[in-house]
Amino acid sequence: MLSVELRPARPIAHALGGRLSLALVNSVLWRRSAEPVERITDYPALAGYLRDAGGLDDAALTDLEAGAAAEPAAATAALDRALALREALFRLFSAVAAGAEPDGADLAVLDRVFRAGMRQIRVGVGDGRGYRPGWTGLDVPSWEAAADAVAVLGSPDAPPLKQCPGETCGWLFVDESRNHSRQWCDSRMCGNRARARRHYQKRRA
C-alpha cells in the first residue's frame, strides 16, 4: 500500500486540544466523572461548537445551519455519525496517548469516515487565495474531523499526543510545549486539583 503523508493544517484553540479532531473529542467535559457534560446536544450545537473552536468559518456555519433547518432528519443522522466518530476517536486517541494498540474497530470507523469525505471533496475557488479543496453537505464536520485525525496520527513531525491524567478528566491534546513537558489539560484546573488532593492525603497521613 502506498503511504500518503498528511500534515495538520488547521491548529485550533490550545484550550480545546490544539487540533480540530481533538476539539471534537473534548466536547464532553469531565468525561471520566459520574456526570459528564455533553456540549453537543443537537446539530446546530455541533456546527457552532466547531466554529467557536476555529474549525469552521462563518460561511460554513451559515451553510450548515441552513442545511440542517431544511433537512432536520438528515441533520439528526449526520449528528449521530459525528458523535459515533467522536467516541471512536476518543478511544483511539486514548490508546495512542497511552502507548497502547488502538482497537481495530475504532480505526475502521475513522477509515470509513475519512474515505467518505475524500470521495466528496471538490476543488473550488477560495476567497482571493486561489483554488482549494472543500466539502459541502451536513457531514462536513465529520469529514473535517476525520481528515484532521488522520493527519494528527500520521504526520511524522506532529507534537506528542497526550491525555490529561486528571481522575475525572480524560482531556486529549497535542503537547506543543518547548520540552514536551505539558502534563495537564490545564494546570489551574486538573493540576491544582491533583496538588490539593496530594496535600490532603499527606496531611491525613
Whether the pLDDT of residue 95 is over 50: the answer is yes
Residues paired with residue 133 on neighbouring β-strands, in sequence order: 123
What is the distance between the alpha carbons of residues 91 and 71, in angstroms, rounded to a whole number? 31
In 3D space, the residue among 80, 79, 81, 145 whose CA is nearest the CA of residue 114 turns out to be 145
For residue 48, the model assigns a pLDDT of 96
Give the phi and the psi of residue 123 in degrees, each rounded to 5: -100, 125
Number of independent structural domains in the chain: 1
Kindly report the average pLDDT of the chain as a whole number: 86
Whether the pLDDT of residue 128 is over 80: the answer is no
CATH code, 139: 1.10.3300
Residue 75 structural domain: 12-157
Indicate whether 171 belongs to any domain. no
pTM: 0.86
Indicate whether 119 belongs to any domain. yes
